Amino acid sequence: MMSRDNLLQIVDSMRDEMVECLKSLIAIPSDNPPGIYEEISKYLDDKYKELGLESEIVKVPDEEVKAHGLTTPRYNVLARLGKPGGKRLILNPHIDAVPPASGWSTDPYVATIKEGRVYGRGACDSKNQCTVYGYALSAIKKAGIELAGEAVIVATADEETGGELGAGYMLREGYSKGDWAISEGNCYSIINAMGGCLHLKATVKGKASHAAMPDQGIDALERMNAILTRLYAYRDTLKETTSQITGIKHPTMVVGTIQGGVKTNVVPSECVITIDRRIIPEEDSSLVEAKIRSVIESARESFPDLEVKVERVMLADAYGPAPADSEVIKALERNGEKVLGEAPNVTGSNGFADSRFYWNMERIPSVMYGAGPRGWVGCNAHGPDENVEIEDMVKAAKVIALTVVDLLSGTE
């Protein structure tokens, strides 16, 4: 059995390989929407096999994809190291990324290295995690360390749009059940709770008429304005509901988009808004949705003839907190202190991620940990010039490798 220090030296020797792997992943667009995953899943499957892992691509059945209103195939990658039948640690990055939008100083699909950072779409969220988890397991194999259990990378689709055909599908079908789960994260925090997210679409119907004869029409924008006034008044009350979980403050709500009208001189016959409501773990998502629907319906006080349709677009439930004394958290704290010189803090976080599936569906102790800066503040995830520090990738790979050994072989 090689020493832990030798294992860390092996990870150090893989630094350049990790950078090249991340550069290759960035060069493969996997923007979601639309979610085109065939090329990136094939690359990862080949890479994990090259790294000495057992790997396969799991394709979601076409009928299930169509049932979710999607038109492009969904692929997930499953890679393993160790012995089946014992304890199981799930490592869950995701292969999709948000579209790059504008404001980039570099080509988002051509990885650029500047001042020790790799820039490109998905560099931080979460193609670097696909890389880090793979090389952490490869280092264990190169070190000749025998695992009594099994470490399983589940690199999944669709995290950016709710993860139902990615992490959700893989867990429902039994591919990723285990004793602990680690999803994408950053080096200096162990996230054991996250908020949830509800997306709604509200459509108001009116009646078009000539702008010179507005009384002949029904103004959909005017009716939507009454709804918006009530929604914003409701939003302003949300700060009164606070979370008791460190790192999570209070619910929020944003009206993200609005569309309406066809021409300046036509009374608008339709107006559509989309709503993003963030949910804290102490809230019941069904009650949250019912409240927003009632706020929208209250606009009938001003317009009794209001014709409005509210549709749920997505619901990602909040999760946690996973127990702070669970073995996976203690191992990450211990190994983080060894590698970083400080123990990562255990905290909750706003936003939502695939980590929720493991806790909410199976009560698997689920956390987020990986390569990234403190609090995500410097990596511009979802923004222009997204980046990750190379040193953070190496550190995260070391912490993950040591944690896998601790949990699955008992080596201290």
The answer, yes or no, to whether residue 358 has pLDDT greater than 80, is yes
How large is the average pLDDT for residues 268-288?
97
Report domain extents, the chain.
4-194+319-409, 196-316
C-alpha closest to that of 96 among 60, 58, 122, 64: 122
Residue 351 pLDDT level (bands cut at 50, 70, 90): confident
pLDDT at 2: 60
pLDDT at 374: 84
Would the pTM count as exceeding 0.85?
A: yes
pLDDT at 409: 86
Residue 410 pLDDT level (bands cut at 50, 70, 90): low
pLDDT at 41: 98
Q: How far apart are CA 104 and CA 40, in angstroms?
A: 22
How large is the average pLDDT for residues 184-204?
96
4-194+319-409 belongs to which homologous superfamily? Zn peptidases (3.40.630.10)
Mean per-residue pLDDT of the chain: 96
Contacts of 366 (CB under 8 A, 6+ apart): 180, 181, 182, 183, 192, 319, 320, 322, 355, 356, 357, 358, 359
The answer, yes or no, to whether residue 279 has pLDDT greater than 50, is yes
Q: How far apart are CA 126 and CA 184, in angstroms?
A: 7
pLDDT at 412: 47
pLDDT at 152: 98
How large is the average pLDDT for residues 223-244?
98
CATH of 196-316 among 3.40.50.300, 3.40.50.620, 3.30.2350.10, 3.30.70.360: 3.30.70.360
Is residue 349 a contact partner of residue 322, using CB atoms and an 8 Å limit? no
